[in-house]
Amino acid sequence: MSKMKGAIVVNVERCKGCTLCIVACPKDVIALADRKVNTHGYTYVEAARPDECIGCAACGTVCPDGCITVYRKKVEA
């Protein structure tokens, strides 16, 4: 039996830390980076619990700046 796993890649320089992706994530994978900012001075998001990602792409769908790319792959259980 196979199961879907996901991975997100955040374009840190484009992220403005609006937190819409954090709210949209059903698995609480994404969080604001702790005391880190990009070159524009924004606190950005990162995958705080990457192993929990299911690749649903809810985060990428709601991101107004298109900062998040979601990858999905099948893993054998």
Instruction: Report mean pLDDT in 10-residue bins for the chain, 77 residues.
Output: 86 98 97 96 97 96 97 84
Residue 4: its pLDDT value, please?
80
Please give the Cα distance from 15 to 2 (Å, whole number).
33
- What does each C-alpha distance from 41 to 12, 30, 38, 59 come to in angstroms? 11, 19, 5, 22
Is the pTM higher than 0.95? no
Residue 1: its pLDDT value, please?
63
Residue 3: its pLDDT value, please?
80
Residue 77: its pLDDT value, please?
66
CB count, 10 Å around CB of 19?
13
Q: Are 6 and 56 in contact (CB under 8 A)?
A: yes
Q: Are 27 and 49 in contact (CB under 8 A)?
A: yes
